[in-house]
Chains A and B, each alone.
Chain A
Amino acid sequence: MSDINMETENTWCPGCGNFAIEAVTKKVIKKIGRNKTAITAGIGCHAKIIDYVNVNSFYGLHGRPVSLAVGIKLANPELSVLAFSGDGDSLNEGISHLIHAAKRNSDITVVIHQNRNFALTVKQFTASSPKGFVSNSSPEGNVEEPLNTLEVANSAGATFISRSFSGDIEHLQETMEKAVEHKGFSLIEVLQSCPAWYDTNSYYRENSYKMEKVPKNPDKKIREWNYDGEGKIPLGVFKKQEKPTYEEKMARKGKKVSVEEVLKSKI
C-alpha cells in the first residue's frame, strides 16, 4: 500500500465534518510527501482518521496525540508532524499537553476537530460546548461557560493560530497548508458540524466570515466570537510569529565524552 488511501470501512456519520478534514489532510500529506510525514491522534471520532489515511502514524491514547507528536518531532525533526485531536481530547483530557507544546513552540501542527461535544461516547458536553448545551451528562443544560480554544493557545504563546470550517473545503485546505508550512507550533481549529449530536452547519455558515489578512491585534480578533452565540466567527489566520523552535533550541550537541571518561571525572 503505497497509496495514501486505505481500504478500511469508514464509520463516520454522513454529513460529518471529518470527511472534509480527511480529504484535505490527504492532499496536504501528498504535497509534503508520505514518507516525510507522521501523524498522531487521540481517541474520539476525530481519531479514526488514522485508519483512513495511509501514512506513518501513532494512534495514541485519549488526550495524548500532542505529546506523541512532540516526541516524534524531537526525535526526528525532518518529519512533518501533525497531531489530530478533538475538543474532548485536547481541551478536556489533554489540555496541559496542548498548552505546553504551544509554550515551548514545538514545531508540530495540531488540528482540532471542533465538534463541541463528546461524540463517540454518544453526546456529553466538552470544554467548548456552549452554556445550556443539552447532553446526556447535562440533561438540564450545560452550566459551564465554553472555553475559547484560540485564546488558550494564544495565552500559551502559540506562534501560529488559525480557524477554518469543514463546510468550506478550499478555505480548509489553504489554512491547513499554511499551518503545516509554519515553522513552530501551529494550531488549526476546524469548526465542524456533528450531524448525530450537534448540528451546527447552518449556524457556522450564517455567522462566519473570512478574514482578509492576519489581524494586527490577534487578541481582540480571537475574542470576537465567544463560542456561545455572541459575535461573528472570524475564519483564517489570527496570528503568525517567527520564533526559534523547540527542536532548534534542543538540537543534539554531538558526542564528545565516553562513559569511561565520565566515570573518571567521578574519582
Chain B
Amino acid sequence: MEDFQILIGGAAGQGSKSAGRLIARVLNRYGYKIYVYEDYPSLIRGGHNFSLIRVSKDNKRSIKRQVDFLLALNKDTLERHRDKLSGRGCIIYNADEVDEAEGIGAPIETIATEVGKKIMQNTALCAYFCKAVGISEGVMKEVVETLPAPDKNLKVAEKAYQKAEKENDLEDIGDPVPLVTGNEALSLGALEAGLENYFAYPMTPSTSILHFLAGLETECDVQVMQPENEVGVINTALGAAYAGRRSMVGTSGGGFALMAEGVSLAGISETPIVIIESQRAGPASGVPTYNAQSDLNFALNAGHGDFLRFVFTPGDAEEAFYLTNLAMNLSWKYQVPAIVLIDKDISESTFSFDQSVMEKGEYWEESRGECGKHYDRYEDNEFGISPLCYPGKEATVRNNSYEHNEYGTTTEDPDEVVKMQDKRMKKKPLMEEEIERLEMVKVFGEGKKALVTWGSSKMAAKEAGKKAGWKVIQIMSFAPFPEKRFKNALEGVEELVVVEENRLGQAAEIIKRYTEVDRKVLKYDGRPFYEEEILNELN
C-alpha cells in the first residue's frame, strides 16, 4: 500500500484521538509517513470527534475525501462517514453498539470490559485495525506498552488482536521518525533559539504549546507562566524580555486582539518578543476548534502607530520549527516584534517530522552593548539598531512606551519625535534585505499556470498542483514581503490562482500589489481543503 487514509471517530471522551495517535505510531514503525488531521467540536463529552490519518510512502500531507479504513467507535461515526469509503475500503465498527453492518464487527466494549476497562475499547479497535492491515502483534505491543495503564491495555490489545482477522500484508519500508504536531515543532524551534520564558493564557488552537512547554519545564530549563489574561501575558513577557530573557507568547486571534497594545509597546520600546498567533475560524468566538486563515490582515496591522514587525506564515511542522526559530533570532537581532502566524491545521495536526530541518535551528547572539556606566538604550546609529543591555549590571537601562530620547527619557520635542521614528525606520531596508536572502518563497513544480498559497493550505495545494501540473508558490513571510523572490517565482506564469482559507481572499489582496490575480479559490467552512477540491477548480 503506497498511500491510504484512515478515519477513526467516536464521541468526545471515547478516545478517538488517542487511538489515532496509537495507529499513527504503529504505522510510523513500519516507516510510513504520517499526517493526522484532528476534527473535534468545542465540548468535553458527546458530540463527534474524528482523526483522519493520511499514510503514505512519500509524505503526503493533505486529506482526501475518500477513506480506506473507517474505524467506528460508535454508530454515529459509521453513519456520518460510511459514504466516504473508497472502493478498496474496509470498515471496522463497534459491534457492541451496532447490530449489523457492512464490514468487520468488533466487540470492542466486551473485550475491553472483560480484560481491561471499558474506556480501553479504543485500544481494542486499534488492535483490530493492526491485525487487518497486517501489522505484527509485536510492533503493536511495543507501542501499547507506552500507554498509561500498560498492563490492562496490553491485555485488551492481545485479546482483540487474537479475535481479529488479517486482511492485508504490510511491508516494512523504513525507520520511524519523530511524530510531532505543529505546536510541538514550533516550541522546539523556539528552544533552539534560546527560549527561556513562555507566557500564555489558554486558547484553542495554541493551548497545546502551553501544555507541551509546561511539560518540558523540568527538562529543558524553560519557565512557563500562565498569567491572568492576554493583556497580562504580553506585558509580563515584555518585562521578562527587557530583563534579558528570550520570551515568547502564544494565543489565537481573540487573545491576540487583547495583546494588540503590547505589540505596539514592543514596537516603540524596541523590546524583542515572539508572538505565536494560531488562527481559528473567527470573527470573535467564531468556530473555535476549526480552521481559518483569516487573521493575516490583523497580524500585519495589529497595534497602533507606525512600527516594524516580522510576520511569518509556516505551512507545516518543519516550517513551524524553522520560522519560529528564525522569528526569535530576528526579533532579538532587530529588536522588533516577530509574529508567527500559524493555523489550527498545522498547530494541532501531527506530522512525520523531517529532522534535516534541525540543521536550520540556530541561536544568534543579539548585538550587545558594552554596558558600561553610560549607556543609551536607544542609541541612534547607522543601522538604527541600538546595542542591547539588560538591567542588573553597571549600565542603566531605560525602556519607554512614550516617545523618548536616546537615553530613554520621555520627549515631546518635535525634532526628537522625528529623529527617533526615523531611527527605528532605519531597520526597514535591513529587514527587507534579510528576508530576501532567506527562502521565504517556495516553488514546487513548474508551468505557466501557478497556484499561490500560504499556511496550511499549502499542503493540499501542493498535492493538487502536482497532479494538475501547476506550479505552486508558497509565501512564508508577509512582513517584510519578499517582493524580489516572489516576482522571480512568477516569471513565465500566465495564469495565477490564489488558494487560501478565508472569505475575503486576504493574501490575494496583498498579492495584487505585485501582480494580477486571475482567480481566488477560497474555503471558509472551517475544514481543510481536500486535494480534490483544489484539483476541481484547476481543471
B70: min CB distance to chain A, Å: 27
Q: Kindly state whether residue B414 has any CB partner on chain A within 8 Å.
A: no
Q: Contacts A60-B235, A255-B220, A266-B184: A35 and B243 contacting too (C-beta < 8 A)?
A: no
CB-based nearest A residue for B190? A259
Per the 8 Å Cβ criterion, residues 264-293 of B in contact with A are 265, 269
In whole angstroms, how far apart are the Cα atoms of A254 and B239 in the complex? 22
Question: Would you call A57 and B223 a contact (CB within 8 A)?
Answer: no
Q: Kindly state whether residue A202 has any CB partner on chain B within 8 Å.
A: no
For chain B, what secondary structure do more than half of its interface residues adopt (helix, strand, loop), or is it mixed?
Answer: mixed
Question: Would you call A60 and B265 a contact (CB within 8 A)?
Answer: yes
Q: Kindly state whether residue A116 has any CB partner on chain B within 8 Å.
A: no
In whole angstroms, how far apart are the Cα atoms of A74 and B233 in the complex? 13
Q: Mark A58-81, 1 if CB is under 8 A from B, else 0.
A: 111101100111111011101100
* A2, A54, A70, A254: residue with the most chain B Cβ atoms closer than 10 Å: A70
Question: Which residues of chain B have C-beta atoms less than 8 A from A59's C-beta?
Answer: 398-402, 404, 408, 410
Q: Mark B233-268, 1 if CB is under 8 A from A, else 0.
A: 001111111111101000000000000011001000
Question: Would you call B409 and A8 a contact (CB within 8 A)?
Answer: yes
Q: Mark A38-68, 1 if CB is under 8 A from B, else 0.
A: 1010010000101100111111110110011
A22: min CB distance to chain B, Å: 15
Question: Would you call A6 and B409 a contact (CB within 8 A)?
Answer: yes
Q: Kindly state whether residue A260 has any CB partner on chain B within 8 Å.
A: yes
B234: min CB distance to chain A, Å: 8
- Contact partner, B227, options A48, A67, A72, A266, Cβ 8 Å: A67
Q: Kindly state whether residue A213 has any CB partner on chain B within 8 Å.
A: no
- Bin the interface of chain A by size: 35 or more
Question: Would you call B238 and A71 a contact (CB within 8 A)?
Answer: yes
Interface size on B, residues (CB 8 A): 65
Question: Would you call B391 and A74 a contact (CB within 8 A)?
Answer: no
Question: Which residues of chain B have C-beta atoms less than 8 A from A253's C-beta?
Answer: 217-219, 221
Q: Kindly state whether residue B396 has any CB partner on chain A within 8 Å.
A: yes
Q: Contacts A263-B178, A263-B180: A74 and B396 contacting too (C-beta < 8 A)?
A: no
Question: Which residues of chain B have C-beta atoms less than 8 A from A58's C-beta?
Answer: 238-239, 242, 269, 398-400
Question: Which residues of chain A have C-beta atoms less than 8 A from B221's C-beta?
Answer: 252-256
Question: Would you call B228 and A1 a contact (CB within 8 A)?
Answer: no
Per the 8 Å Cβ criterion, residues 361-419 of B in contact with A are 361, 373-374, 390-394, 396-402, 404, 407-410
Q: Kindly state whether residue A34 has any CB partner on chain B within 8 Å.
A: yes
A14: min CB distance to chain B, Å: 21
For chain A, what secondary structure do more than half of its interface residues adopt (helix, strand, loop), or is it mixed?
Answer: mixed
* A43, A68, A70: residue with the most chain B Cβ atoms closer than 10 Å: A68
Q: Mark A224-267, 1 if CB is under 8 A from B, else 0.
A: 00000000000000000000000000101111110110111011
A186: min CB distance to chain B, Å: 18
Q: Kindly state whether residue A148 has any CB partner on chain B within 8 Å.
A: no
- Contact partner, A79, options B179, B220, B243, Cβ 8 Å: B243
Question: Which residues of chain B have C-beta atoms less than 8 A from A63's C-beta?
Answer: 231
A-B contact count (CB 8 A): 183
Q: Kindly state whether residue B468 has any CB partner on chain A within 8 Å.
A: no
* B358, B391, B398: residue with the most chain A Cβ atoms closer than 10 Å: B391
In whole angstroms, how far apart are the Cα atoms of A29 and B100 in the complex? 80
Question: Which residues of chain B have C-beta atoms less than 8 A from A97's C-beta?
Answer: 228, 231-232, 235
Question: Would you call B396 and A54 a contact (CB within 8 A)?
Answer: yes
Q: Kindly state whether residue A100 has any CB partner on chain B within 8 Å.
A: yes
Q: Mark A1-36, 1 if CB is under 8 A from B, else 0.
A: 110001010000000000000000000000000111
Q: Contacts A67-B232, A70-B236, A71-B240: A259 and B373 contacting too (C-beta < 8 A)?
A: no
B18: min CB distance to chain A, Å: 15
Q: Kindly state whether residue B162 has any CB partner on chain A within 8 Å.
A: no
- Contact partner, B231, options A51, A64, A267, Cβ 8 Å: A64
* B188, B235, B245, B358: residue with the most chain A Cβ atoms closer than 10 Å: B235
Question: Which residues of chain B have C-beta atoms less than 8 A from A68's C-beta?
Answer: 235-236, 238-239, 242
Question: Would you call B398 and A57 a contact (CB within 8 A)?
Answer: yes
Question: Would you call A71 and B391 a contact (CB within 8 A)?
Answer: no
CB-based nearest B residue for A69? B239
In whole angstroms, how far apart are the Cα atoms of A240 and B180 in the complex? 48
7 cross-chain CB contacts under 8 A: A48-B410, A56-B398, A60-B235, A68-B235, A262-B216, A263-B188, A267-B28
Chain A positions near chain B (C-beta within 8 angstroms): 1-2, 6, 8, 34-36, 38, 40, 43, 48, 50-51, 54-61, 63-64, 67-72, 74-76, 78-79, 96-97, 99-100, 250, 252-257, 259-260, 262-264, 266-267
Given contacts A60-B238, A68-B239, A99-B228, could you give 11 more A-B pairs where the C-beta distance is less than 8 Å? A50-B410, A51-B410, A55-B396, A57-B398, A70-B236, A72-B243, A76-B243, A252-B196, A259-B192, A262-B220, A267-B178
